[in-house]
Amino acid sequence: MLTYEPGDSIVHRLDPRTKLAVQIGFAATALAHTTPRALLVFSVFTAVAVTAAQLPLRRTVVAYRFALLILAIAPLIAGITVGVPWFDRSAAVASALASYRVLLILLVSAAYVRSTPVRDSRAAIQRTIPGKPGQILGIGVGLVFRFLPVLRGDLRTIREAIAARLGTERGTVDRASTIGILGLTRAFDRADRLSVALQARCFAWNPTLPSLAFSRIDYPVLVLAVALGLSTFL
């Protein structure tokens, strides 16, 4: 799974608020413009973002393998028709272009995840959205980034334990139900332990977060984020 890794790339040095603005602007304009020429421009932008963040493509593909499988199957499903001609090429092409846009958005998001600490993401959200809503969103983002890898590790451990006990010889439905039940049990246990840990550490709604400040390289990137957002309306 993709997680934050310290580094000295250009994207690492950007303020998290700048990176969030770029993500929002890019996602909005990528979903709004569907022409092949626009997709070519978005592809170049994504390649620059991935290179600037020093994102390992192989690990990214592995982390997104299930999402990529769905994106690959979607055009085939969209093109199938009940009657003649049995396969609608135009519908399949439209679905493929939509899947490609989603792929580009996922890659830009992966560049953000790899280059931004969880505490910085929480600080960016809480300082952008004032009051209790910002605090709730900040806490949610922090818990998701920290809790999800643990749950994925539990599921991997469960699958390995089942395989070690020749569970692979059982039916697919039986294995899936066993993994689902054990995974939910682990998740609830983790949630209970997390609640106790938060109470033991005097959990606060408004903790001392890292200081954020825009640097010189943030301003041109912010201009780019604004341009991306405005291009949605063009």
Please tell me whether the overall predicted TM-score, pTM, comes out greater than 0.85 for this model. Answer: no
Kindly report, residue by residue over 35-75, the tens digit of the pLDDT: 888 889 999 999 999 999 988 888 888 888 888 888 888 88
**8-state DSSP, 82:** S
Average pLDDT, the chain: 83
**Mean of the pLDDT values across residues 209-217?**
84
Residue 22's pLDDT band, with cuts at 50, 70 and 90, is very high
Spatial contact of 8 and 207, defined as CB atoms under 8 Å apart = no
CB burial of 19-31 (b: ≥16 within 10 Å; e: otherwise) equals: bbbbbebbbbbbe
> Among 71-85, 102-116, 199-213, where is mean pLDDT lowest?
199-213
Q: The tokens of 7 are what? A: 């580094």
118-128 and 16-32 are packed helices; what angle lies between their axes, rounded to 10 degrees?
80
In terms of average pLDDT, the best of 69-83, 170-184, 204-218 is 69-83
Supply the pLDDT for residue 206. Answer: 60
pLDDT at 26: 92
pLDDT higher than 80, residue 168: no
